[in-house]
Chains A and B, each alone.
Chain A
Amino acid sequence: MSLSLKLTRELYNNIIKDLDRPHSFAYERVGFVFGRIGNKGQSDELIILNRYLSVDDNNYEKNKRVGASINSRAIRDVMQKALNDSVCVFHVHLHYGTGRPGLSRTDKEGITPLIPSFQAVCPLQKHGILLFNEDSISAWVLSQNKKSFLKVDKVSIIGYPINILY
């Protein structure tokens, strides 16, 4: 089975613009992107992202050990949206550099434990992690058994122009 993910160029630009804003004390920003599954159960499963939620400045916590730390209120708001609207949830943040980005050790320790909570409130959709950098996107989706993350094979930015990243 292959996994693909799509978002419009407008959404992509909005996410980048938000994540690139400086914060008063956090080294980086994080956000959450929502969407829905398309073609569920088929050999080419698709996740279509359509909304972005910026984490409010007040929901960041001071933590010098990591680039950004957000409080439980921010996470509860996201879980509530997943429950209410039955949507996919992807944690998103930005690395600098070019080429297909990878999760750092801090990312793996800090972000991956979050994702099962979204799966718990909305088991019918898929949830995971998005990582942007200057010219590419990587994405991972939590497997159904919650034991591992599957790398998304193809990410498409739909707009003028279309960018398809493998």
Chain B
Amino acid sequence: MITDRYSRQSFLGDNSENIFSNCSVGIVGLGGGGMHIAQQLAHIGFKNYVLYDAQTIELSNLNRMVGATLEDVKNKLLKIDIAERVIKNLQDNTSILKFPTRWQENPDALRGCDIIFGCVDGFSERSELESCSRRYLIPYIDIGMDVFPPARVAGQVILSMPGGPCLRCLDFLNEEKMALEAGVYGAAGPNPQVVWSNGALASTAVGVAVNLLTDWSSSLREEVYLSYDGNSNLISVHPKAIYKSYNKCDHYPLDNIGDPIFEKI
């Protein structure tokens, strides 16, 4: 049953409010993208969060971190604390686990999530996060953006569904990119980020998650690989998702699930 607060999203289904309030979401990276996601999920009705970000807010973050304030910068707040405030200003009875660390230092809570949003910098970070998601059978939604010379804004939203094509299958990650990564992610300075691009990508990612959980459209039945063109303001299906068909993922076979086990040889 839908309460008045969510009456405008009743098309998501009679049980949608229940689904959102019981679902546990992990958000790794509470910068421009992650904070948008947290805010939108709280608006929609999600109540259970696992948040990871080791950083304290800086003045340069204010160009894109929704919900953050000048006062937060003066008080040197942790990004996860700002995210918690944003969520709690929209939802009561929440469960928010916050880790001011890299997720690898506190992985247990992440493993209990129903969906993980990866809003991290760098291909190796994405690779590690996806590996964990696959091992614990958690759908992983990756977002990111960058600015390429001379002035091209590009980004992606990718759903990595256990059993389906992974970031490597889709060639978003490959060994060459991983090898080139250090100091070469984008080319317009330290990780350029702007609020409108972050917002477009975050909104798309949230839309994918909601569709996955409620099946409101009855149309999401295969991998999601969307590319964002910030110059023409278009989000479209990436050619690799159009022109290639994918069988089972060889990078993360379903035999490699659960906690690693050690065998005496």
- Whether B105 sits at the interface, judged by CB under 8 Å, is no
Q: Are B259 and A38 in contact (CB under 8 A)?
A: yes
Partner of A164 from the list B19, B255, B259 (CB cut-off 8 Å) is B19
Binds B, one of A16-24, A64-72, A142-150, A155-163: A155-163
- 1/0 per residue A45-88: CB within 8 Å of B? 01110110000000000000000000000000000000000100
CA distance A35 to B108 in the complex (A): 19
In the assembled complex, the CB of A156 is this many whole angstroms from the nearest CB of chain B, namely: 7
In the assembled complex, the CB of B99 is this many whole angstroms from the nearest CB of chain A, namely: 14
- Whether A108 sits at the interface, judged by CB under 8 Å, is no
- Whether A119 sits at the interface, judged by CB under 8 Å, is no
CB neighbours (8 Å) of B137 from chain A are: 6-8, 38, 48, 156, 158
Q: Are B22 and A39 in contact (CB under 8 A)?
A: no
In the assembled complex, the CB of A122 is this many whole angstroms from the nearest CB of chain B, namely: 11
Q: Are B259 and A39 in contact (CB under 8 A)?
A: yes
CA distance A124 to B19 in the complex (A): 33
- Residue in B closest to A50 when the chains form the complex, CB atoms: B254
CA distance A159 to B139 in the complex (A): 8
| Given A4-B112, A46-B112: A164 in contact with B23 (beta carbons within 8 A) | yes
CA distance A47 to B137 in the complex (A): 10
Binds A, one of B84-92, B144-152, B208-216: B208-216
- Whether A134 sits at the interface, judged by CB under 8 Å, is no
Partner of B161 from the list A36, A50, A160 (CB cut-off 8 Å) is A160
- 1/0 per residue B54-86: CB within 8 Å of A? 000000000000000000000000000000000
In the assembled complex, the CB of B106 is this many whole angstroms from the nearest CB of chain A, namely: 11
- 1/0 per residue A73-117: CB within 8 Å of B? 000000000000010000000000000000000000000000000
| Given A158-B137, A160-B222: A35 in contact with B163 (beta carbons within 8 A) | no
Q: Are A162 and B114 in contact (CB under 8 A)?
A: yes
Q: Which of B23, B161, B215, B258 has the most CB of A within 10 A?
A: B258
Q: Are B254 and A8 in contact (CB under 8 A)?
A: yes
Q: How large is the interface on B (under 10, 10 to 19, 20 to 34, 35 or more residues)?
A: 20 to 34
- Whether B261 sits at the interface, judged by CB under 8 Å, is yes
| Given A38-B257, A48-B258, A50-B257: A10 in contact with B212 (beta carbons within 8 A) | no
In the assembled complex, the CB of A52 is this many whole angstroms from the nearest CB of chain B, namely: 11
CA distance A63 to B74 in the complex (A): 77
- Whether B136 sits at the interface, judged by CB under 8 Å, is yes
CA distance A51 to B254 in the complex (A): 8
CA distance A8 to B23 in the complex (A): 17
Q: Are A161 and B261 in contact (CB under 8 A)?
A: no
CA distance A15 to B141 in the complex (A): 28
| Given A4-B112, A39-B136, A46-B112: A160 in contact with B257 (beta carbons within 8 A) | no
- Whether B32 sits at the interface, judged by CB under 8 Å, is no
Partner of A8 from the list B111, B112, B163, B212 (CB cut-off 8 Å) is B163
List residues of B (1-50) whose CB comes within 8 Å of A's CBs. Answer: 19, 22-23
- Whether B187 sits at the interface, judged by CB under 8 Å, is no
CA distance A40 to B257 in the complex (A): 13
CB pairs A–B below 8 angstroms (19 shown) = A4-B112, A8-B163, A10-B163, A35-B257, A37-B259, A38-B135, A38-B136, A39-B111, A46-B112, A158-B139, A158-B162, A161-B213, A161-B215, A162-B139, A162-B212, A162-B213, A164-B19, A164-B22, A166-B22
Besides the contacts A36-B259, A42-B111, A159-B161, what 6 more A-B pairs have beta carbons closer than 8 Å?
A6-B137, A7-B137, A36-B261, A158-B137, A161-B213, A162-B213
A→B interface (CB under 8 Å): 4, 6-8, 10, 35-40, 42, 44, 46-48, 50-51, 86, 124, 156, 158-162, 164, 166
Pick the 9 closest A-B CB pairs, nearest first. Answer: A36-B258, A161-B215, A44-B112, A38-B258, A50-B254, A48-B257, A6-B137, A39-B111, A160-B221
